[in-house]
Amino acid sequence: MKVYDALLLVSFGGPEHPDDVLPFLANVTRGRGVPPERLAEVAEHYQHFGGVSPINQQCRDLRQALERGTDLPVYWGNRNWHPMLADTVAQMRDDGVEHVVAFVTSAYGGYSSCRQYLEDIAAARAAVGPSAPEIDKLRHFHDHPGFVEPHADAVRAARATLPPGGTVRVVFTAHSIPTSMAATAGPEGGRYEAQLRETAALVSAAGAPDLPWDLVWQSRSGPPHVPWLEPDVNDHLAALAADGVTGVVVSPIGFVSDHLEVVWDLDNEAATTAKSLGLDFARAATPGTDPRFVAMVHDLVRERVEGSSRRSRLGTLPLWDACPAGCCPPPRRGPSRE
């Protein structure tokens, strides 16, 4: 039986000062072919919040909540902004930590949501050298009751804020990704979308079984000629309004906290779109530090130690502890980006 001596929270990272915004965006998009116009637009979104992304504070809160439920020390490191993962891994090494179990704040498979975090962990360990601790990433948790139930309650609560009557639909959202990345997600392809669809069905069944639902995409990046998953949430709201829908519950199941994509792309952009269409709009909360979500992390560690026959899960898609080598490969870089 494997014994862990630390729990590591791994996340995306975000700026916390106006001067951080451009260097942060440079870290996110290095070598990824995101056009400068898109970067300027996203920098603007951050500046609306004084250059402070909510994501780092959300990680601090989650870390603190996690510490209350375990004897293990809880560390935190990010892909794109301080505290950077390599610094955290060096700290763990200095503290004598040898076997780490890592919780990544993304529930799904795919390059951006899974493989890239594995690469980040490997790069951070390589930077520290042979004395770096071993780090095992926990499984995709898209169908864990501790993730599904808070989303389902949030759908119910958001729905209750809509005016009574009318024709209401649940609109689940996740970060759009290039269709080429979606095609190669998981060992057989399509895993990001398949898992999101499974989560959507589970959240719908538990939170609003009488309402029809859709899964659509938000926060598209990249150059315009590269195809990404569609429809975009804003276009979808227009189509629903044209079909006679009068109200929507928008549930961002693609995310675990109300970070910038949620508070800008949904609470601002999509809400404005809905208003202009005359649609009633209610955004469902993300898990954040819901006690069930916090307990889920500890349960995933238990699962990992006890073995995969002891999984708490609501879905049926294949799951594994360690991703097969070569699944969710990085996107091919165009010649202009090398």
Known binding-site residues equal 53, 117, 175, 261
Nearer to ligand HT9, 144 or 259 (CB): 259
Contact (Cβ atoms closer than 8 angstroms) between residue 111 and residue 4: no
Two tokens, residue 123: 């790069």
How many C-beta neighbours within 10 Å does residue 313 have?
A: 16
Question: Taking CB under 6 A as the rule, does residue 177 contact ligand HT9?
Answer: yes
Question: Taking CB under 6 A as the rule, does residue 221 contact ligand HT9?
Answer: yes
CB of 166 to ligand HT9, least distance (A): 31
Stretch that binds ligand HT9, among 156-164, 199-207, 255-263, 312-320 (CB under 6 A): 255-263
209: left (phi over 0), alpha (psi -120 to 50) or beta: alpha
Binding mask 108-127 for ligand HT9 (x = CB under 6 A): ----xx--------------
Cα–Cα distance measured from residue 57 to residue 122, given in angstroms and rounded to the nearest whole number: 25
Cα–Cα distance measured from residue 28 to residue 12, given in angstroms and rounded to the nearest whole number: 9
Residue type, position 319, single letter: L
Two tokens, residue 152: 């389902």
Cα–Cα distance measured from residue 252 to residue 325, given in angstroms and rounded to the nearest whole number: 29
Nearer to ligand HT9, 174 or 245 (CB): 174
Q: Select from 154, 196, 237, 260 the one that contacts ligand HT9 (CB under 6 A).
A: 260
Helix (H) or strand (E) holding 92: helix 85-94
Question: 174 φ, ψ to 5°?
Answer: -145, 165
| Collapsed DSSP state (helix, strand, coil) of residue 321 | coil
Q: Select from 28, 62, 90, 294 the one that contacts ligand HT9 (CB under 6 A).
A: 28
Q: Select from 65, 72, 86, 106 the one that contacts ligand HT9 (CB under 6 A).
A: 106
Stretch that binds ligand HT9, among 29-37, 126-134, 140-148, 196-204 (CB under 6 A): 29-37
Number of residues that bind ligand HT9 (CB under 6 A): 25
Positive or negative, the CA dihedral 73, 57, 115, 108 is: positive
Residue type, position 179, single letter: T
Q: Select from 259, 270, 297, 319 the one that contacts ligand HT9 (CB under 6 A).
A: 259
Question: Taking CB under 6 A as the rule, does residue 43 contact ligand HT9?
Answer: no
Looking at residues 49 to 88 of the shown chain, list those that interact with ligand HT9 (rule: CB under 6 A).
Answer: 53-55
Two tokens, residue 194: 């398949």
Cα–Cα distance measured from residue 297 to residue 260, given in angstroms and rounded to the nearest whole number: 23
- Count helices and strands (H / E) in the chain: 12, 8
Question: Taking CB under 6 A as the rule, does residue 42 contact ligand HT9?
Answer: yes
Nearer to ligand HT9, 79 or 125 (CB): 79
Nearer to ligand HT9, 261 or 290 (CB): 261
Q: Select from 153, 261, 290, 303 the one that contacts ligand HT9 (CB under 6 A).
A: 261
Q: What is the contact surface with ligand HT9 in residues (CB under 6 A)?
A: 12, 14, 25, 28-29, 32, 34, 38, 42, 53-55, 105-106, 112-113, 175, 177, 219, 221-222, 254, 259-261
